């Protein structure tokens, strides 16, 4: 297509504390290239993010970075809870900033989606002692039966999220995205599948969102609402076809929770951006019905779909995942009307290019 048709995507925009060069984001994608033992990233990761910043991506959202040893769910994922990890990430943020980019850390706790051999030889943590379906990615063993979190456990983990946000700023990140999606710990609290609690962290959806709200409050207290993004979804890694019973009511409930804690920027996640889920509307269209703050859109987007969604006002920022794995110069290719190299799992999952 003629690159002159793509214009909104290349507009500079300010969202929160971030002055972005374009209305684009690099979606968070688990890569598992950190040291397996220490969770420290190396020069290959520095170069990986630097190249996307050099391409002009507005907001880089990192792969999930775990907030504690027990938060870990895959071999080789990076951490943000030791000084050595913080120092290694400084090289990444400095490289991105030298290219004029903006980068935020996605802070992550996988909850029950783990195995004791990965999670510091302790059982995984979860709202209820219900095993996730399936096997640990890149590890091959079935998910362990998790340990139901006590009130003290909950307080401790909320503190770990806040500390990880503080550590992110020390590492030079411009802010954080709280990973509240895809069947990981926060989403396990949010979901009726994995949360059977009868205390204030359970019950109906509004009650189940209590843990998420408390995490967000503490992260906002630590780094500010203008540096905090939240990712949420219906989609779950262990239950890919899951959908809320009443999607519009669920989205309303989520939006009320975000407003209550002072969020200003949200990242609804889906695999299919154009898929309708209720009342002939997509998840992002339903979100926009109730939310006038910043919305990051994601879900197998291409430049044309993203351009249209921005022009219509459905989203403010378009996040791209797999196209950016296959094309470090993705925006350059879009702007020049050049062919986009297709994503190939065999190649692009195994290499940092």
Per residue in 204-237, pLDDT tens? 999 999 999 999 999 999 999 999 999 999 999 9
- Per DSSP, 227 falls in state G
- Who's near 80: CB < 8 A, 6+ residues apart? 65, 66, 67, 86, 89, 105, 107, 164, 167, 168, 171
In total, the chain counts a number of residues equal to 353
Report residue 22 CA to chain centroid gap.
Answer: 19
Nearest to 56 by CA among 335, 297, 325: 335
- Who's near 326: CB < 8 A, 6+ residues apart? 340, 341, 342, 343, 344, 348
Q: What is the mean pLDDT of residues 74-87?
A: 97
Question: By the 8 A CB rule, do 134 and 142 touch?
Answer: yes
Per residue in 135-157, pLDDT tens? 998 888 999 999 999 999 999 99
Q: 184 an active-site residue?
A: yes
Is residue 253 over pLDDT 50? yes
pTM over 0.85: yes
Q: Which of 49, 161, 184, 201 is catalytic?
A: 184
pLDDT at residue 257 in the model: 98
- Who's near 163: CB < 8 A, 6+ residues apart? 67, 81, 222
Take residue 146 and report the two structure tokens written for it. Answer: 């998790």
pLDDT at residue 4 in the model: 47
pLDDT at residue 348 in the model: 75
Q: What percent of the chain has pLDDT over 70?
A: 99
At residue 2 the predicted structure's pLDDT band, cuts being 50, 70 and 90, is very low
Calpha distance 203→195 (Å, rounded): 8
Q: What is the mean pLDDT of residues 114-127?
A: 95
Nearest to 208 by CA among 227, 182, 180: 180
Calpha distance 41→24 (Å, rounded): 25
Question: By the 8 A CB rule, do 188 and 111 touch?
Answer: yes
Mean residue pLDDT across the chain = 96
Take residue 273 and report the two structure tokens written for it. Answer: 């951006």
């Amino acid at each position: 297509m003629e690159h002159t048709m793509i214009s909104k995507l290349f507009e500079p925009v300010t969202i929160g504390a971030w002055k972005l060069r374009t209305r684009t984001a690099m979606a968070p994608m688990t890569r598992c290239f950190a040291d397996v033992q220490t969770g420290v990233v190396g020069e290959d990761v520095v170069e990986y993010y630097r190249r996307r910043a050099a391409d002009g991506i507005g907001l880089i959202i990192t792969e999930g970075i775990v907030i504690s040893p027990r938060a870990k769910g895959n071999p080789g994922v990076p951490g943000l809870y030791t000084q050595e990890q913080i120092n290694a990430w400084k090289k990444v943020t400095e490289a991105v900033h030298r290219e004029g980019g903006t980068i935020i850390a996605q802070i992550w706790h996988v909850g029950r989606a783990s195995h004791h051999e990965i999670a510091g030889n302790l059982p995984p943590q979860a709202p209820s002692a219900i095993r996730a379906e399936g096997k640990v990615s890149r590890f091959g063993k079935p998910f362990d039966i998790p340990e139901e979190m006590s009130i003290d456990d909950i307080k401790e983990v909320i503190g770990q999220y806040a500390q990880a946000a503080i550590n992110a700023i020390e590492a030079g990140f411009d802010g954080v995205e709280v990973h509240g999606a895809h069947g990981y710990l926060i989403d396990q609290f949010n979901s009726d599948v994995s949360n059977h609690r009868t205390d204030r962290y359970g019950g109906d959806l509004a009650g189940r969102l209590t843990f998420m709200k408390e995490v967000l409050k503490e992260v906002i207290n630590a780094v500010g609402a203008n540096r905090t993004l939240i990712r949420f979804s219906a989609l779950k890694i262990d239950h890919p076809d899951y959908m809320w019973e009443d999607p519009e009511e669920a989205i309303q409930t989520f939006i009320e929770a975000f407003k209550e804690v002072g969020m200003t920027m949200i990242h609804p996640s889906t695999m299919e951006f154009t898929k309708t889920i209720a009342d002939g509307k997509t998840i992002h269209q339903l979100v926009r019905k109730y939310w006038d703050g910043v919305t990051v859109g994601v879900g197998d987007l291409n430049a044309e779909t993203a351009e249209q969604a921005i022009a219509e006002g459905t989203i403010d920022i378009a996040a791209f995942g797999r196209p950016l794995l296959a094309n470090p110069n993705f925006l350059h290719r879009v702007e020049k009307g050049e062919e986009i190299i297709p994503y190939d799992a065999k190649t692009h999952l195994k290499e940092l290019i």
